[in-house]
């Protein structure tokens, strides 16, 4: 195999510093022990905001609706509708079943939603308005009875109006103005204002990610993720200006984002690098995008497309954008990614902001064993069985024999009690 790394960086990992781990443990301990008082204290300390009530009121929702323009409301509603339409198809492909496997022995499974779910909506540099649809809508479609959403306050003391409107439009039942690890703790453990949930998910920074790790077990979580990633797989037919534009789009997320180009064409690789340098000065987010590209950008030239595909699967990136002459021809060979974008007309920004597929996706090679948020994230697969007298007698003989081998005598007696069972 042959690769030429024109630009290479060290692969990141999910490792979290001891300082962050200890700080999050202190926050979660405070929330678990002191509830709302701790949440308000941490909100004042970390966000510089003091609120009497952490739950968003109807008056705040009305104010948010009034503050944003009709055009912005229509845009957010369209995003919610698109995400809803795509995810509404998913339950048709999650199937329960029941079947008679042996005479008198029926077994099967049911797909059942969790009863309550909490979602975290990040604030940070860009208070995202598409994120509420991505995390809340799948829970709505799954049939979750109670959906709690948390987002950090802005400088004015409340959730940004457009983000708050999006959370409401997506279908949240309760909205709380709380950010960071304290939000994860409030949803996981419960406080005077927030009843605990069964599942916590949604993207966030290193503190919310570490908080999800620490509360896992008390509640379920979606997955642990790091900064956003994009890998563009291209051949010589790709437009270097478009490739550069799409790499920079992910670079502006943050200085720790990860933009990677793998191509079979060295000329494209070098032209793309030149294009990036040419486009950066025109970006209002140049400072962030430039630092990200310089620190984490990679450009790799492979000898053959098969080698490029193998390396792409090894990188297992969050977003995989294929810009080749025939993108679909490679689809069956690509299997490690969070979401796939086929062709020059399908940039990552479409999936991130409006197309309808989910943008809460695995990073840091987690796509080697897990996918992103979908309707099934909020569902449990529950199995069941039922045996008639004939079926019980058939199974009992083998079950009792297994117990005899193991030495689990009480289990053996339970099985043998069904050898002549007439139920």
The residues that are catalytic are: 318-319
Residue 161's SS3 state is helix
Antiparallel, parallel or unpaired: β 298-302 and 3-7: antiparallel
Candidates 191, 120, 153, 104; CA nearest to 385 is 104
Task: Tell me how far apart the alpha carbons of residues 89 and 17 are, in angstroms, rounded to a whole number.
Answer: 40
String of DSSP letters for 115-158: SEEEEE---TTS--SSHHHHHHHHHHHHT-SEEEEEE---TTSS
* Gap between the Cα atoms of 340 and 202, Å rounded: 20
CA angle, 152 as apex, 151 and 156 as ends, to 5°?
Answer: 125
Closest listed residue to residue 319, CA positions, set 350, 341, 345, 299: 341
Residue 146 β-bridge partners: 116
Tracing tokens 């200006």 back to the chain, one arrives at 241
- 162 neighbors 192 (Cβ within 8 angstroms): no
Strand partners, 106: 100, 386
Sole residue written with tokens 């049939």 = 143
Say how many residues make up the chain.
423
What is the rounded CA–CA span in Å between residue 68 and residue 356? 23
DSSP state for residue 12 in the 8-state scheme: P
Q: How far apart are CA 96 and CA 100, in angstroms?
A: 14
Query: What are the strands, taking DSSP E only, across 271-338?
Result: 298-302, 319-323
C-beta atoms surrounding 126 within 10 Å: 12
Token code pair at residue 251: 């670079």
Distance CA 243, CA 233 (A): 10
């Amino acid at each position: 195999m042959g690769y030429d790394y024109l630009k290479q960086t060290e692969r990141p990992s999910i490792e979290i510093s001891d300082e962050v781990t200890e700080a999050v443990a202190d926050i979660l301990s405070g929330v678990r022990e002191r509830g709302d008082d701790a949440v308000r204290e941490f909100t004042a300390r970390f966000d510089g905001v003091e609120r009497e009530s952490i739950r968003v009121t109807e008056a705040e929702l009305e104010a948010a609706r009034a503050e944003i323009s009709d055009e912005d409301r229509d845009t957010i509603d369209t995003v919610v509708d698109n995400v809803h339409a795509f995810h509404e198809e998913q339950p048709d492909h999650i199937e329960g079943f029941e079947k008679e496997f042996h005479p008198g022995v029926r077994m099967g499974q049911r797909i059942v939603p969790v009863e309550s779910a909490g979602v975290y909506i990040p604030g940070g540099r860009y208070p995202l308005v598409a994120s509420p649809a991505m995390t809340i809508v799948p829970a709505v479609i799954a049939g979750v009875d109670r959906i709690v959403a948390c987002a950090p306050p802005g400088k004015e003391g409340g959730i940004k109006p457009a983000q708050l409107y999006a959370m409401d439009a997506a279908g949240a039942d309760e909205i709380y103005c709380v950010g960071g690890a304290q939000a994860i703790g409030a949803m996981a453990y419960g406080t005077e204002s927030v009843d605990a949930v069964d599942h916590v998910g949604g993207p966030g920074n290193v503190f919310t990610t570490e908080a999800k790790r620490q509360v896992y077990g008390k509640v379920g979580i979606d997955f642990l993720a790091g900064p956003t990633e994009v890998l563009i797989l291209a051949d010589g037919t790709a437009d270097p200006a478009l490739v550069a534009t799409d790499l920079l789009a992910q670079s502006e997320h943050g200085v720790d984002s990860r933009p990677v180009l793998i191509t079979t064409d060295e000329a494209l690789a070098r032209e793309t690098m030149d294009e990036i340098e040419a486009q950066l000065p025109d970006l209002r987010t140049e400072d962030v995008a430039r630092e990200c590209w310089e620190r984490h950008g990679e450009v790799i030239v492979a000898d053959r497309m098969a080698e490029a595909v193998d390396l792409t699967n090894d990188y297992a990136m969050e977003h995989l954008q294929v810009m080749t002459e025939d993108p679909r021809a490679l689809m069956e060979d690509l299997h490690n990614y969070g979401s796939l974008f086929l062709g020059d007309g399908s940039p990552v920004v479409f999936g991130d902001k409006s197309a309808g597929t989910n943008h809460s996706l695995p990073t840091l090679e987690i796509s080697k064993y897990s996918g992103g948020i979908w309707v099934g994230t909020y569902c449990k697969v529950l199995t069941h069985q039922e045996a008639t007298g004939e079926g019980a007698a058939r199974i009992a003989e083998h079950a009792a024999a297994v117990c005899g081998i193991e030495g689990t005598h009480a289990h053996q007696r339970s099985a043998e009690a069904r050898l002549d069972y007439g139920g």
